[in-house]
Each structure stands twice: as structure tokens, then as C-alpha cells.
Amino acid sequence: MRCVTVNAPSQRYEVRIGPGLLGTLGEGVRESTGAKKCAVIAGENVFPLYGAAALESLRSAGLETCSLVLPAGEETKSLRHYGELLTFLAEKRFTRTDCVVALGGGVTGDLTGFAAATYQRGIAFVQAPTTLLAAVDSSVGGKTAIDLPQGKNQVGAFYQPSLVLCDTDALSTLPRRELSAGFAEVIKYAVLGDPVLFNALRDKSVDLPAVIETCVKHKAAIVAEDERDTGKRRLLNLGHTFGHAVESRSAYTLLHGETVSVGTAMICRAACRMGLLKEADRDAVLSLLRAYELPTETDYSAGELYDTLLLDKKFSGGRLHLIVPRAVGHCDILPVSQEEARTWLEAGLA
Ligand code: NAD
Ligand code: GLY
């Protein structure tokens, strides 16, 4: 088993990575939360695959259990399903000494984490990621959220899990398209600060548990320094600023990771046009994204994406922080005005 400790200012916890870890969920929940009662929250695709194993492990550790199965898809990160989850916990008489487990991808993790953050002002939660994207990114660092019809992640909280348990065996059932989407976030870490990982990805000489550990270490280091996203953590938004606009425009028909890929390609093209990134580096990033079967183009116009960007919470006080690649392994945070953001957007589509 691989283990990374996240020293977030609000909570210190372990991220355990390896095969067969779901069988240790009960023990992990007991030792990290002290809970006696635990709810497993999972999506409709994940529960039939891994729900029984999760519940069995919890029961074997002496915990009282229950479960709630939710529809799959981004639409579940909604006020409706947030309400459903809170109501479920209340009806099951959960108290602040109990715990919830998010078993699934980023959708389940974000929704369950936000419900855990707010139910009775906060109960313990454990992340058990089953997608590559959740393993390398969303399950770690404590960003929890739901969407509003007006925009993605518009309601949320910073709320750290007590434990992240990533059973890498679960990735074996992940559809190929979802695996590729996860690689968009892996490539993000490589472009941000890890040329060694970048080259390993190029050679396809990667072992998933090792890659997950590497990415989690990068994220843990950033979260330890800037838990609440006021400085260095903004770097993790590489590819997300324009990517979110593409994602919202597509009405979630494109996967989150796919839009991060498009957004990463756009910011690389724009940085190159602005003379800040060499053509060779731009081409290397675009080729790597394509090698993992990820999209690098969008048909949306600059006007359409700009309108969507204006609704994004990333604009505050009229300014937006763009994450600009300067080389493979080095990115800068660049605050820009609304007008400048439009220029960058146009340059990213060219
Ligand atoms: P997802 O949660 O929608 O899961 C992808 C799909 O795969 C779903 O249909 C799910 O049912 C299925 N699935 C999950 N695990 C499976 C498995 N092991 N076998 C078979 N099928 C499986 O998507 P995602 O890519 O994991 O997460 C995307 C979400 O994460 C977005 O809402 C995004 O905003 C959020 N996110 C959050 C953060 C954060 O820091 N909180 C970071 C990145 C992304
Ligand atoms: N995925 C961005 C962050 O965790 O900050």
C-alpha cells in the first residue's frame, strides 16, 4: 500500500492507495473517525460493483450501516440531490458522531462532501474514489460543491475528509473514456511541475498506483500551503478556467476531464501566441493530451465561451487568475481583467 499524508491546516489525514483496499474500509473509518454508524453514498453504476464490499467491510469492523444510491452524472451535483442526501441522513437519525463514505467519482465525492460539511454543521466523511480523476484530484484537498442551474460548483465548502481510501482494483471497471478523462488531471500535474511525470506519460511507462501517488503528493503539498485557494492552489486550475466554460456550454455532455483537456490546450495555444510558451512545449502538451485520447479543440466561439466565463465564480472584483504554462513543468498565475481574458480566450481558439 502507498500512503500520502495531507497536512491541511484544518485537518491531517492519510490518502491510502493500492489494490484491495476496499476490504480495509471499515477499519479505516473506525480508526480515522471513531464513528459507530456509517452511510455509504454511491452512484447507480458504482454501487452494484463495489457497494456490497464496502458495506461488508464496515459491518465486519462493527459499524452499523446504511446506503443511498444516487443517479450517475453531473446533474446529481444539484440542490435536489443535496436535499435528498440531507433528508436521508436525518431520517436515519445521523448525528455528529457518525460518518458518511463517498464511494465513487468526483460527482459522488463533491456532493457527499458538501452534505457532510453542512449536515448538523459537519460530520465526518471518508472518500473512497473509484475513478482516476477522483483518485488524483477531487477526493483530496477538501473542495466540496454542488452546481446551480446558473453555474458549476456555485455552492460549496472547504471540508477535508478524515481519510481517502483509493482501491486501485476499482479502476479496472472504469470505462475507457472515463479513464482518459482522469488522465487530463494527471497531465495537469505534469505540466504544472513534473517533467519526469510528463516524460513517463509520453512513454506510456506508467503504473497507475505510482501515478496516483505522485499526483496526490503534488496536491498534498499545495493544499498544505494554501488550503483555501487564495494563492498557490490556484495553479490547480490549469486548464479549468476555459475548460469550465466549455463544460457548462456543453451542458455536461463533455466529461469534466475532457473539458480540462480542451482548456489546457487553449491556454497553451494562447500562451504561445503571447510569446510566453515555446511552440515545441505547446506541441508536446497537445500531443500528450491526444495520446490519451483527449480532445484539444472546441467548436464554441469566443463570444459563447466569454459569456459563460462571465458567470463563472473565478471572476472576482472584475479579475480572473489565468494559469499560464511557461514551459513543461512550470506555470505562472496571471491576474487579468475581463477584457484581457477575452483576448486570451480568442488566442486560445486560434
Ligand atoms: P463521475 O463522478 O461522474 O464518474 C464518472 C462515471 O464513471 C460515472 O458514470 C460513474 O458512475 C462511473 N464510475 C465511477 N467509478 C467507476 C468504476 N470504478 N467503474 C465503473 N464505472 C465507474 O466523474 P469524475 O470524472 O470522477 O468526477 C467529475 C466531477 O469531479 C466533476 O463534477 C468535477 O467538477 C469534480 N471535480 C472536483 C474536484 C475537487 O477538487 N473537488 C476536482 C476535480 C473535479
Ligand atoms: N481541483 C482544484 C483544487 O482542488 O483546487
Mean pLDDT of 207-222: 97
CB crowding 235-258: b at 16 or more within 10 Å, else e: bbbbbbbbbbbbbbbbebebbbbb
Distance 148 CA to ligand 1 centre (A): 18
- The pLDDT tens digits of the residues spanning 317-336 come to 788 999 999 999 999 999 99
Strands 163-167 and 64-70: unpaired
CA pair distance 164, 17, nearest whole angstrom: 8
Ligand 1 touching residue 156 (CB < 6 A): no
Distance 143 CA to ligand 2 centre (A): 7
Ligand 1 touching residue 74 (CB < 6 A): yes
Nearest to 109 by CA among 139, 131, 83: 139
- pLDDT reported for residue 317: 77
pLDDT level of residue 314 (50, 70, 90 thresholds): low
pLDDT top residue among 319 and 3: 3
Distance 194 CA to ligand 2 centre (A): 17
CB crowding 21-59: b at 16 or more within 10 Å, else e: bbebbbbbbbebbebebbbbbbbebbbeebbebbbebbe
The widest CA-to-CA distance across the chain, in whole angstroms, is: 61
Does the pLDDT of residue 136 top 70, yes or no? yes
pLDDT level of residue 7 (50, 70, 90 thresholds): very high
Lowest-pLDDT choice from 58-62, 135-139, 319-323: 319-323
Distance 189 CA to ligand 2 centre (A): 11
pLDDT level of residue 316 (50, 70, 90 thresholds): confident
Average pLDDT over all residues of the chain: 96
Mutate to test the pocket of ligand 1, among 21, 69, 103, 107 (most ligand atoms within 8 A of CB): 107
Residue 250 carries which DSSP code? T
pLDDT level of residue 1 (50, 70, 90 thresholds): very high
Ligand 2 touching residue 249 (CB < 6 A): no
Q: Where are the alpha helices (DSSP H) in the chain?
A: 25-33, 52-60, 79-91, 106-118, 132-133, 176-193, 195-203, 208-225, 240-249, 256-273, 279-291, 302-311, 338-349
For cell 465564480, name the residue.
Answer: 313
> What domains can you pick out in the chain, each with its CATH number?
2-173 (3.40.50.1970), 176-348 (1.20.1090.10)
Nearest to 65 by CA among 33, 102, 26: 26
Does the pLDDT of residue 76 top 90, yes or no? yes
Ligand 2 touching residue 137 (CB < 6 A): yes
Ligand 1 touching residue 107 (CB < 6 A): yes
Nearest ligand atom owner, CA of 164: 1
Distance 314 CA to ligand 1 centre (A): 22
- Return the bridge partners of 69, or none: 42
Residue 241 · residue 264 · CB < 8 Å: no
Global pTM exceeds 0.85: yes
Residue 38 · residue 187 · CB < 8 Å: no
